[in-house]
Structure 1
Amino acid sequence: MRATARAWLADTAGGLPAVFWYLWSGLLINRVGAFAMLFLPLYLTDVRGASDALAGLIVGAYGLGGVAGVLAGGVLADRWGRRRTLVWSHLAASMLLATTAIVTNLPAIALLATLVGIAHSMPGPAFVAAIVDVVPPDRRSRAFNLQFWALNLGMAGASALAGLLAEASYLALFLVDAAATLAATVVIAWKVPETLLRTAPTPRPELAGSRRAGLLTPLTDRVFLVFVGLTFAYAVMTTQTSTVMPLAMRADGLGSSAYGLVVALGGFLIVIGQLFVPRLIDGRRKHRVLATALGLAAIGYAGLAVTDGLPGYLAAAVVWTVGAMLAAPPNAEINAELAPLALRGRYQAVFFLTFPAAAFVAPAVGGASLQYLGDGHWLAVGLLGLVTVAGHLLAGPPRERRVARLARTRTTAPVVRRR
């Protein structure tokens, strides 16, 4: 039994460098404390007297800031460095959150929300680029699996803390979030060296001068954009959970407690089961794993068309959550493999844009779809999933050939630069 446990632990988390674990720790600390902005609408309406419409605009400003932050974070990660981008964006977020806690003027809060959105989104591309820099290719699947697990573990911890703090004091809510972000800053500044290789070789002749190309190169990379498009379609599906599904559950006579139970079940399954995913997918071709994952998501969401009770919603959540667990490691790994060495941050930035874009498209289109199609909306979501399954199966082989060509041209491995 002990030998089996050791073998499982080695398969799940073994062989990863210390720098990865410091990055992972900083990410976990940050996610556990990242709850203040979840309560921003309630804070604005209950404490600052904002109308629902104004609160929505201010929260929307936070989202727009996130789009700008993702792009800026990717460019800075490549030009300025991963470590600097991570440290200064975390430090800025900590200071902005603390300021938001004491500012009472609504226009000023709107400006701060925009700036917090920028600061919160900037570390994403740098985190992933740094992980790719330091983790050997044969261990990246495990690294991204652990990263996904940390995100969900942190969100579970944040949810537990947020409710208690919000009931006690909104001031405490923002200040504890600021303190957690500052703690993550300290961990990264203290233990994470610069991982950007300044003299990285250009992996393809057509990418010569790519450092000056900015975001143009990833935005004109057809193989990469096909993958981004498929990821966007999947993100539109998964965003149904937080945007359209609450409306469908209300129409079925289910309250907010039932919705909370469905969401909590998904988070619980990921926290408990994600560490067992590597053994399931190791050695399997990534596009087939993704096709399987998207197929499960399609079945789960389409299943909502024939259910109107809580047991049906819970069963569907189990199916699409298993799909999400399978999809996370290969999705991140493919994104890393397609990025040229000199443009990892910028490729990550374009990839990360799929999520705020999906957060806009899913409710904008999904609300109208639910209104006019009713339960047929979920069949449409399932059909989108099946189209995405076919897309991965068709795009997978040429994508793998492209990755193999890139791997052959990388004659020197990334080297960690010490401070």
Structure 2
Amino acid sequence: MIVTTIKYYKESFRGLSREIWLLSLIMLINRSGMMVIPFLTLYATQELNFSIVKAGLLTASFGLGSIAGSALGGWLSDRWGTYKVMSYSLLLGGVGLITLGFIKSYWLLMIAIFIVSTIADALRPAVMSSINDYSDPENRTRSISLIRMAINLGISIGPAVGGIVAGTMGYVWLFVLDGVTCLIAAFFLLRLLPEKSSHPEEIEEANDDPKQSVYKDYIFIAFVAVNLINLIAFFQILSTVPLFFEREWSLSEFQIGLFFTLNGLIIFLFEMPVIFFTENLKRSFFWVIVGAAMIGLAHASFLLPGHWLVIFLAYSFLVGFGEILNFPYSNTWALKRGSRGSLGQYMGAYTMMFSLAFLIAPILGTQILDAYGFEVLWYSMAGLNTLSVLGFLLIRNKISD
């Protein structure tokens, strides 16, 4: 049984191109240096002596830059090509991050954070678009999952290392190391990853497709809007869910940290084999709907009576497997939907959706919590997920999948 499981797990990684493995390595290096964002508020208040309000505005500036970068990166990918956008984003973003550590003026720092965030996050739609060039249609979802795995692994490493660096070497070194990892990633990109054009059959398909702009593809715009609703509920995992653990269940910081570790392990261990198993069973949009439904059930589990540990585990597995199904398959469908001439625009809109949800989720969640409490919050979030499932079903009836 164990031997069969290991063999199946290995099989889920087979067939992926060398370029996808290299792109995953580049993203792992890049995200392993993600040290500035988790400590930006602490740096602003403790090192620069800014108020909490000012520190929050700096973080908001980073978020707004992320939205702008998603749009810019998608637009430039259609004009320059994904390879140039990835190269310039990593190089200029790396230099920009190092520079941020030496800016002490509040307003100058806010403007610089917005500019650097815009440049750095132009990388995301370019990477997503480049998956079309470096993968085949039959393993595209697994290619996305491998890159997601690398990103998640890097994100788990970066803050842990950042905490040690901030405590022993000082906050400025967070900016330096974050920037250096961007430059190292750029080096690997330019040295190892070849620039590659689109698959001929996809170019031919695109030329026959009259839809060239994402803004004229109303089904895709509806998909982004529905997915935004789903993601606003999902991203409670980073704001109100930890508050729920602490206030309602009296869990310690260590125990809450174990939840995030468990969630990361579920994604890391199960995403590739789950995608390998499901990719030939149903079309991609079916799994988008199933994933959104599981995230909704995860929020509904907080309303059930029972021992906290049982509910804790139920939420962890439901939200983890919901993410495993919803995120890669929605990305695959977005790539498939994007016409070749404006694929960057599609990926720009798709990644912008994540940035918007990341900004809206904590504001909406904490406002509902403060006014009505946790019970209404979880009903609301489960309701949002249900609404997204209904929206996805309506969209599915309009498409061939």
TM-score, scaled relative to structure 2 = 0.91
1:78 is matched with 78
Question: How far is the alpha carbon of 1:314 from its aligned partner?
Answer: 4.1
1:388/1:19 Cα in 2 relative to 1: closer, same or farther (>3 Å)?
same
Equivalence map 1:150-161=2 (5 Å): 150-161=150-161
1:254-278 deviation per Cα after TM superposition (whole angstroms, max 9, x unaligned):
4433432322221122122223212
1:186/1:231 Cα in 2 relative to 1: closer, same or farther (>3 Å)?
same
1:331 is matched with 330
1:398 is matched with 398
Counterpart AA for 2:385: G
1:50 is matched with 50
Aligned equivalents of 1:140 and 1:92: distance in 2? 29
Aligned equivalents of 2:52 and 2:306: distance in 1? 29
Question: How far is the alpha carbon of 1:251 from its aligned partner?
Answer: 3.3
Contact persistence 2:20–2:147 (CA under 8 A)? no
2:295 is matched with 297
Between stretches 300-309 and 351-360, larger displacement belongs to: 300-309
Question: How far is the alpha carbon of 1:94 from its aligned partner?
Answer: 0.7
Question: How far is the alpha carbon of 1:164 from its aligned partner?
Answer: 1.2
Question: How far is the alpha carbon of 1:281 from its aligned partner?
Answer: 1.0
Aligned equivalents of 2:195 and 2:9: distance in 1? 31
Question: How far is the alpha carbon of 1:388 from its aligned partner?
Answer: 2.0
Aligned equivalents of 2:359 and 2:306: distance in 1? 26
Decide which of 259, 262, 273 is 1:262's aligned counterpart.
259
1:318 is matched with 317
Contact persistence 1:75–1:346 (CA under 8 A)? yes
1:297/1:4 Cα in 2 relative to 1: closer, same or farther (>3 Å)?
closer
2:19 is matched with 19
Counterpart AA for 1:343: S
Aligned equivalents of 1:132 and 1:191: distance in 2? 18
Secondary structure of residue in 2 paired with 1:390: helix
Overall identity of the aligned pairs, in % = 24
Secondary structure of residue in 2 paired with 1:206: coil
Q: Count the aligned residue pairs.
A: 392
Equivalence map 1:270-419=2 (5 Å): 270-283=267-280, 284-306=282-304, 310-311=308-309, 312-374=311-373, 375-399=375-399, 401=400
Between stretches 156-165 and 191-200, larger displacement belongs to: 191-200
In the alignment, structure 1 segments of 5+ residues that lack a partner are 211-216, 404-419
Equivalence map 1:94-133=2 (5 Å): 94-133=94-133
Aligned equivalents of 2:257 and 2:164: distance in 1? 16
TM-score, scaled relative to structure 1 = 0.87
1:411 is matched with none
Contact persistence 1:75–1:345 (CA under 8 A)? yes
Counterpart AA for 2:355: P
1:351/1:3 Cα in 2 relative to 1: closer, same or farther (>3 Å)?
same
Question: How far is the alpha carbon of 1:367 from its aligned partner?
Answer: 2.0
Decide which of 190, 210, 227 is 1:206's aligned counterpart.
210
Secondary structure of residue in 1 paired with 2:77: helix
Counterpart AA for 1:25: L
Question: How far is the alpha carbon of 1:171 from its aligned partner?
Answer: 2.3
Question: How far is the alpha carbon of 1:5 from its aligned partner?
Answer: 4.3
Contact persistence 1:69–1:120 (CA under 8 A)? yes
Aligned equivalents of 1:39 and 1:205: distance in 2? 46
Secondary structure of residue in 2 paired with 1:379: helix
Between stretches 182-191 and 271-280, larger displacement belongs to: 271-280
Question: How far is the alpha carbon of 1:227 from its aligned partner?
Answer: 1.7
Contact persistence 2:91–2:183 (CA under 8 A)? yes
Aligned equivalents of 1:361 and 1:60: distance in 2? 11
Question: How far is the alpha carbon of 1:197 from its aligned partner?
Answer: 4.6
Flag as ranges the 4+ runs of structure 1 deviating above 4 A.
1-7, 196-199, 307-310
Between stretches 152-161 and 140-149, larger displacement belongs to: 152-161
Contact persistence 2:133–2:199 (CA under 8 A)? no
Aligned equivalents of 1:46 and 1:307: distance in 2? 42
Counterpart AA for 1:80: W
Task: Give the CA RMSD over aligned residues.
Answer: 2.3
1:134-182 deviation per Cα after TM superposition (whole angstroms, max 9, x unaligned):
2110110110111221111111111321221121121222211111111
Contact persistence 2:34–2:159 (CA under 8 A)? no
Counterpart AA for 2:179: A
1:314/1:194 Cα in 2 relative to 1: closer, same or farther (>3 Å)?
same
Counterpart AA for 1:32: S
1:186 is matched with 187
Between stretches 249-258 and 119-128, larger displacement belongs to: 249-258
1:234 is matched with 230
Decide which of 243, 268, 272 is 2:239's aligned counterpart.
243
Contact persistence 2:142–2:276 (CA under 8 A)? no
In the alignment, structure 2 segments of 5+ residues that lack a partner are none
Question: How far is the alpha carbon of 1:2 from its aligned partner?
Answer: 6.5
